[in-house]
Each structure stands twice: as structure tokens, then as C-alpha cells.
Chain A
């Protein structure tokens, strides 16, 4: 290893960059070669499950959002008009007179958690009951999705990350130790190269879907992309949810459907549900991103401070 220790900085950085490129390429192809399941490529379903599509797109976080959107669309929950702002947060609360008897068990559970007083999406998602309800929804299709090889197994992601990060960190760490032991502190590029490599590796290994999963998701999205126009005419909730789940298409206002569910009076004086749903989605997204960032910072701080690791909280 003397030749590496004695190698001039620029030459070593060239070697290090080459190693990083090879390692990242290897990680990329290893992720692409994830197990694809035993059977053939699954065909586009004739009636796709919106929750399954949301799960494929973004995991439990997307399922959580979709559950809240379904409740909002069905008129079961709504933003608390008038008392909407509390500490800068928009609150969700049960709609007046909403009867949850027709809801499925997990949605009923979420409806009960929302309560009459209202909670922010963040507060709601921190509740263990909420995560349990989302878990129930996911359990409906998760085994099949795994069996069909649509998702990259978590173990494989970790293995690829570790086996790729190991040579990068070993070589970089060795050179860093040698440089510091010789009293050289011009190691900025070495540290930057290492950090960039780790960030790129994280991005590569964070992909959730296998090639088969991506194809299945894309084909389902493509097959039902043209359904938007019909949804306006035939605004059945199931079909709208399919749009949201597969295509991120938000339902346009449908006065008849809204009026039947008490979401809009005859004069149209209340806000149209579609607008409220858009706003809800934005609020949810901001809230979730803020929560995720805060959780990561907290975890990092605990690790740096040497505190015991906390169990992960929140869906996704």
C-alpha cells in the first residue's frame, strides 16, 4: 500500500475518481439486476387498486396521502374552515354529519383518529393508529407486489450500498489517515469526492421499483391516462382515485357529485372540493417534507451526540 500512500495528490484523486465511477456503475447494474420474481411481466389490471399504485409510486407515504384524500373526497373529513390556521398548520377534521358506516376498517380507523376538533396532517401521521391503518391497507397487496418482483428488496438495497461504499470509504479513509499522519491538511477534494460518491450511491440505491415494477407502473399509468375526460362525466370516487394514484390527475369539480355528498350547496358558495383537495395535497406535501427533514436532523444529532438510536417513527 506504500505506493498509494506515496502517490501525489492529483494522481491519487484520478485513481480515486476512477474507483468511484466503477463502484457506482457496479451499484447501478446491481440494482438493475434485482430479482424480478418468478412469473411473467404482470399485465395492466382491468381495475387497478389506487392504493397499490400509490404504494408503487411512493411507498406508505403516498398511501397515507391517498387515504386522507379519499376521506376528503368522500366528504368525511375537511379542512377546518375558520379555524384553519393553528401555528401555521391547516387542520383536518371530521365533516359535520359524516356517517362513516360505509368506510372500510382502515379508513374508519383514520376517520376516528381525525376526530371532531381537527388535527394537522403531521400530527395525524405521527399517531401509531394511523400508521397501523396504513399498514393494514398496504398488507392487502404488499405480499403480491413483492412476489411479482415489482419492488427492490430492502436487504438488497442495503447490501449494494454497503458493498459499494466499503471500497470507496476504505481507500479514501486510508489516504486521509496517511495525509493527516504526515501533517498534510489539503484533503478538501478527497472529502468532497467521498461525499459526492456517497450521495450518488444513496440516490442509486434508493430506487424502490425493479425494472419490472417500473414497466408495470408505467404501463398502468399509460393505459388509464386517457380516463380524465370520462371522470368529469362519470365522477365515481373509485375512478377518481385511480387518476390520483396512477396519474396524479386531480379531479375537476363536478357539481352534481359534490352536491349529492353535501360538499357544495346549490349556490356554490362553499369552495369546490377539487380546489380544496389540491390545497390539501400541497399542505400534506410540505408537512411531510418538513417532518422528514426534521426526523433526519434529529437522528443525525443523536448519532453525533452518541445517544441511543430511536425507533423510526412515521410511515415511510
Chain B
């Protein structure tokens, strides 16, 4: 499967941590034992000087994996082009081995809900998702994008297939060929 070859092409970094500011000193104290740090992209999009300095400090000591929260890949309205451009600039600056984003939608009708909402498991939803992934990969061709499924407590219903089948169909599509779940 294409997804497997994509996975094999990625470098094996080892075990890493998600970066949280309160743990910064502890992270540096145990730097030798931390192979990589995952940073939240949104924390650095409108960054002030202090956050930019923090990013520079982290970048010069760890491989960084940017992780997005609010690109809203599952949104039927498509991707916010402006946000995508800012994502691209940040990812270029960090030059990570890969980056990741959730398969979810985080807004509709111009309203940001500030939460990861699950997509319905339907063929239409799959088309929307793949179109958005394609758009994202055109804007950020490298490094590879990794998809992350979300946990959710509220189910919208209306599914036409199981979650497993949805993911299998997703990674089989050319648009998402190098994406992993």
C-alpha cells in the first residue's frame, strides 16, 4: 500500500515529546533522552518575539514535528487559504521530517468552534477530505503530511460505513497516497 511505502520513507527519530512551555526546563535537562519534539503550529502562527525566540531555541536543539489543530481538513467549505499559507511558512522555517494534522473539522460558516469535530464516515465526506488534502499538499508539497484521527465523544450519526473502512478508502486514494493514519 502507498501508505506503507510513505511510512518507510520517513526517518526513524525515536521517542519524542509534545512540547509544553511549563516543561521546558525539564525537557532541556533530559535533552539526550528526547529524540524529537512535537510543537503545536497554532502556538507559533501569530507569534510575538518571545515565541519566535522559543521556536529558534527549540529548533536549534531538537528535530521539531509541527502538529496542526485548526486547518479543518474535513470541512466542506474547503481550506482557509490564508491559514494554509501561514502553515507553509512555519513549516518551511522549521524544516521538519514530516508534519501532521487532524482529520476533523473545526469550523463552519465562518465560525471557529475551537474543537476537533469528527467527520461523518460517508463517500461524500471522503471526497471532501481528499480534496482538502490535495489542496494542502499542493501548498506544502514537502515534507510529508501525516493524518491523525481524532478521539470524540459526540457522534453526529449519519455514517454510511465503519470508521475502519473510511480510513482504508482514504489512504487508497491518490490524493492521500502518502498520508498515514
Contacts and interface: CB of A to CB of B under 8 A. Distances in A.
B53 interface: yes
Interface stretch (B22-30, B93-101, B112-120, B131-139): B22-30
Contacts of A44: 28, 31, 57, 61
Contacts of A46: 28-32
Nearest to B50: A222
B25 A43 contact: no
A234 to B, nearest CB: 11
B56 to A, nearest CB: 9
A225 B23 CA distance: 10
A229 B21 CA distance: 12
Interface residues of B, number: 16
B59 to A, nearest CB: 11
Interface of A: 41, 43-44, 46-47, 219, 222-227, 229-230
B153 interface: no
Contacts, number: 38
Interface string B111-154: 00000000000000000000000000000000000000000000
A216 to B, nearest CB: 11
A40 to B, nearest CB: 10
Interface centre among B24, B25, B53, B54 (most CB of A within 10 A): B25
A222 B49 CA distance: 13
B54 to A, nearest CB: 7
Contact of A43 (B24, B29, B54, B61): B61
B60 A223 contact: no
Contacts of B32: 46
B17 to A, nearest CB: 15
Contacts of B29: 46-47
